[in-house]
Amino acid sequence: MTYPYTGISIDFIHQKIHDGEIFQRSLIDTSVNNATPKKYRLKTGTKDCHTRILIQADAAGKAQLFELSTFSGGGTERTLYNKNRNSIKTPGAKLYEDPTSTTDGTEIDSQRFGSNKGNVKLGGEIYNSDEWVLEHNTEHMIVFTPDGNGVSMIMTIDLYETAEGRETG
């Protein structure tokens, strides 16, 4: 896209940020244990949710993404911040930390990483269009299970929502 009067072109994601349609949240936990994996609940809104999830930890572990998860305790809602701090737009998707799950649902991605490998990406790079487009109005769960105890980790989620490309049949 070219901005009027400037002759400067920016890519799609950059334009979405300018339009106030990219949302992000990073959450840190400094003591995750094998017996009690770290869980996040992502409830998508009425639009398709284009999502990139990044998990980093200081020890080996497994990251998983589930859809159609069910919960008996919703967890603590965490704000998804608009990356354009001048925009008043908010996402339809909601993010919760430490929910109590009753069923995992269907695993749609699972990756292991070691302490030397730095990070794992569920879905890929949002900036390269390598992302998960999560179904609208659906419960999802992100789980990190470390191999040991007392593991520090961070989960970062970037998302934007569209009604484009939705199949109706």
At 112 the pLDDT is 84
Confidence band (pLDDT; 50, 70, 90) for 126?
A: very low
**Residue 137, class by beta-carbon neighbours within 10 Å (0-12 exposed, 13-18 middle, 19+ buried)?**
exposed
Range list of H helices, 4-159? 12-18
Can you tell me the mean pLDDT for 154-164?
A: 89
Nearest Cα neighbor of 158 from 137, 127, 119 is 127
pTM given for the model: 0.84
Dihedrals phi, psi of 17, to nearest 5 degrees:
-65, -45
What integer best gives the mean pLDDT of the chain? Answer: 85
Give Cβ neighbours of residue 71 (< 8 Å, ≥ 6 apart): 41, 99, 100, 101, 102, 139, 141
β-bridge mates for residue 49, sequence order: 134, 161
Q: Is 142:27 a contact under the CB 8 Å cutoff?
A: no
Q: With contact defined as beta carbons under 8 Å apart, do 135 and 98 qualify?
A: no
Mean pLDDT of the region 14-28: 89
- Give all domains of the chain, ordered by start, each with its CATH number: 23-162 (2.60.120.680)
The mean per-residue pLDDT over the stretch 10-27 comes to 86
Q: State both tokens at 154.
A: 């961070």
Q: Per-residue confidence at 145, pLDDT binned at 50, 70, 90?
A: very high
At 75, which helix (H) or strand (E)?
A: none
